[in-house]
């Protein structure tokens, strides 16, 4: 068995649109490490794109799923439900911030959660329009693509998109877009393109994922909450990548101290099992008629059982506190690297908890993006045994999503690889 042979088979059997970043075929994984089919070890700084906050195969999650496997694997919760479905909804209702009574609906993917949140908002308000932001990523289904604020590769060749979706600039201090700029653009949007009385929802990521790990300032999220309340607009917070202890809070919106009307969740909710959720104010969640939302696999019993174990692990192992410590450690190391004259390609370092980014540029003065260097760094790190991800509207941001269960020694080993790799590339 070899990575090369598997890659050749993949290219013959799988369409090119379903790309794979690295030709590395995993044989087994544990916590924050993986071994490929050739026996080579990799440190995992990708976490399955933010799915593995509790690491690969956490013993508590594995034990819970094994026990569920011996009982049943599927009934369809819309036909004959089960206790873990209800118990997990109760847990999420209690965890999502705000004092309003909550209800939760389960789905399978993050895009499904987003689409259903929009459906719920439209059912509640009777309005059609939705506002999202530049740089946003909300999924690859048709409506989610329309909401997404990044063209390549997500929207190329797939139009036309659903109507009544509008975009406003997302605050980005490094790129010169202030909170005031964003709010002024929203005001102009409401004056020139869509009356706020026709807007069902505003959807926002508290920290943009694919957009470059740009954190929304608390005052921006507070202003959006106020704007939504003023106009009767449903305030949807997309926590699919930011949720479940990643940012130093259970959910990133907690940093702003506001209550969303609806929240979408997925990724690290179930420790690697496909599960997503929409949790929101009970009167909104009850807006669709019976049968209006759902899905055959929605809230699968293996996934709901895994998710309950994940929530227990986050609490028992104090992963919220751990995420802050990891963020301080990695961002501190990146900032120290940026102080070196030889690593002037590091234009910006930013983080909220353990959601950490390093933006690479050709010139610090002009801030011209360096996507080629970013791509090369990902490849060089992989050669040295580190799985790393890039992101950003310009493809020039290195992002770190290491499992929160990773040891300091393993994180240091990964950081050493990043530093050595970048040194080699800029010296070449």
Stated pTM of the model? 0.97
Cβ count near 100 (within 10 Å): 14
Give residue 166's pLDDT. 98
Query: Which helix (H) or strand (E) element contains residue 206?
Result: none
Q: From CA 115, how far away is CA 119, in angstroms rounded?
A: 6
Strand order in the sheet with 26-30: 26-30, 33-36, 41-44, 386-387
Torsion over CA: 90, 262, 181, 364 (sign): positive
Residues with Cβ within 8 Å of 95's Cβ and at least 6 positions away in sequence, in order, are 250, 251, 311
CATH code for the structural domain at 3-57+318-427: 3.90.1150.10
The pLDDT score that the predictor gives to residue 108 is 98
Beta carbons of 332 and 376 less than 8 angstroms apart: no
CA-CA distance, 390 to 375, in Å (whole number)?
A: 7
Distance between CA atoms of 225 and 129, rounded to whole angstroms? 17
Q: Per-residue pLDDT for the chain (428 aa), expressed as one digit of tens each?
A: 899 999 999 999 999 999 999 999 999 999 999 999 999 999 999 999 999 999 999 999 999 999 999 999 999 999 999 999 999 999 999 999 999 999 999 999 999 999 999 999 999 999 999 999 999 999 999 999 999 999 989 999 999 999 999 999 999 999 999 999 999 999 999 999 999 999 999 999 999 999 999 999 999 999 999 999 999 999 999 999 999 999 999 999 999 999 999 999 999 999 999 999 999 999 999 999 999 999 999 999 999 999 999 999 999 999 999 999 999 999 999 999 999 989 999 999 999 999 999 999 999 999 999 999 999 999 999 999 999 999 999 999 999 999 999 999 999 999 999 999 999 999 98
Residues with Cβ < 8 Å from 80, sequence gap 6 or more?
none
Domain with CATH 3.40.640.10 in the chain: 72-316
CATH 3.90.1150.10 segments of the chain: 3-57+318-427
Name the H helices within 151-201: 179-192
Q: Does domain 72-316 have CATH number 3.40.640.10?
A: yes
Give bridge partners of residue 276 from the DSSP assignment: 107
SS3 label, residue 30: strand
**What integer pLDDT is reported at residue 200 of this predicted model?**
98
- Find, among 407, 419, 397, 67, the residue nearest to 212 by Cα: 397
Distance of CA 335 to the CA centre of its chain: 23
362: β partners: none
Query: Is-contact 119 147, C-beta < 8 A?
Result: no
Closest CA to 50 of 350, 276, 378: 276
pLDDT score for 1? 85
37 in Cβ contact with 9 (< 8 Å): no
What's the chain's length in residues?
428
- Give me the half-sphere count of Cα atoms (radius 13 Å) on the Cβ side of residue 369: 16
Q: For residues 350 and 365, give the distance between their C-alpha atoms in angstroms, rounded to a whole number.
A: 18
Q: At 387, is the secondary structure helix, strand, or coil?
A: strand
Output the pLDDT for position 354: 98
Residue 299: CB partners within 8 Å, gap ≥ 6? 77, 85, 88, 106, 107, 275
**Residue-wise over 143-168: b if at least 16 C-beta within 10 A, else e?**
bbbbbbbbeeebeeeeeeeeeebbbb
Please tell me the predicted confidence (pLDDT) of residue 245.
98
Residues 222, 2: Cα–Cα separation, whole Å: 52
Give, in degrees to the nearest 5, the angle at Cα 365 between 363 and 367: 60
Q: Which of 320, 309, 240, 279 is nearest to 117 (CA)?
A: 279
Q: Is residue 426 within 8 Å of residue 342, measured between CB atoms? A: yes
CA 367 – CA 78 distance, rounded (Å): 52
């Amino acid at each position: 068995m070899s990575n090369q042979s598997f890659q050749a088979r993949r290219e013959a059997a799988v369409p090119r649109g379903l790309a794979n970043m690295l030709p590395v075929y995993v044989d087994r994984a544990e916590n924050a490490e993986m071994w490929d089919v050739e026996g080579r070890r990799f440190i995992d700084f990708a976490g399955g794109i933010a799915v593995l906050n509790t690491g690969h195969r956490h013993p508590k999650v594995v034990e819970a799923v094994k026990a569920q496997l011996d009982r049943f694997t599927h009934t369809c919760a819309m036909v004959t439900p089960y206790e873990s479905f209800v118990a997990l909804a109760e847990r999420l209702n209690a965890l999502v911030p705000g004092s309003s009574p909550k209800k939760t609906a389960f789905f399978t993917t993050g895009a499904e959660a987003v689409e259903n949140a929009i459906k719920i908002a439209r059912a509640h308000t009777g309005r059609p329009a939705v506002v999202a932001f530049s740089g946003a990523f909300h999924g690859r289904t048709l409506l989610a693509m329309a909401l997404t604020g990044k063209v390549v590769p997500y929207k190329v060749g797939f139009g036309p998109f659903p109507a009544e979706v509008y975009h406003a600039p997302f605050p980005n201090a490094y790129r010169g877009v202030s909170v005031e700029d964003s709010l002024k653009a929203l005001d102009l949007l409401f004056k020139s393109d869509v009356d706020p009385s026709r807007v069902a929802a505003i959807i926002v990521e508290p920290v943009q994922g694919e957009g470059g790990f740009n954190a929304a300032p608390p005052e921006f999220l507070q202003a959006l909450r106020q704007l939504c309340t003023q106009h009767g607009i449903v305030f949807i917070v997309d926590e699919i990548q930011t949720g479940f202890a990643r940012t130093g809070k259970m959910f990133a919106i907690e940093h702003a101290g506001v209550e969303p009307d609806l929240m979408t969740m997925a990724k690290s909710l179930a420790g690697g099992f496909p599960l997503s959720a929409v949790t929101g104010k009970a009167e909104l969640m009850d807006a669709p008629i019976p049968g209006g939302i759902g899905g055959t696999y929605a809230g699968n019993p293996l996934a709901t059982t895994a998710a309950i174990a994940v929530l227990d692990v986050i609490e028992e192992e104090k992963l919220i506190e751990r995420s802050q410590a990891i963020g301080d450690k990695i961002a501190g190391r990146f900032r120290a690297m940026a102080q070196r004259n030889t690593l002037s390609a590091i234009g910006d370092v930013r983080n909220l908890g353990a959601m950490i980014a390093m933006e690479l540029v050709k010139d610090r003065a002009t801030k011209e993006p360096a996507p080629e260097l970013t791509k090369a760094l990902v490849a060089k790190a992989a050669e040295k045994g580190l799985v790393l991800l890039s992101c950003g509207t310009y493809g020039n941001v290195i992002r770190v999503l290491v499992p929160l269960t990773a040891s300091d020694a393993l994180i240091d080993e990964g950081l050493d690889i990043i530093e050595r790799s970048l040194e080699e590339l800029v010296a070449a």
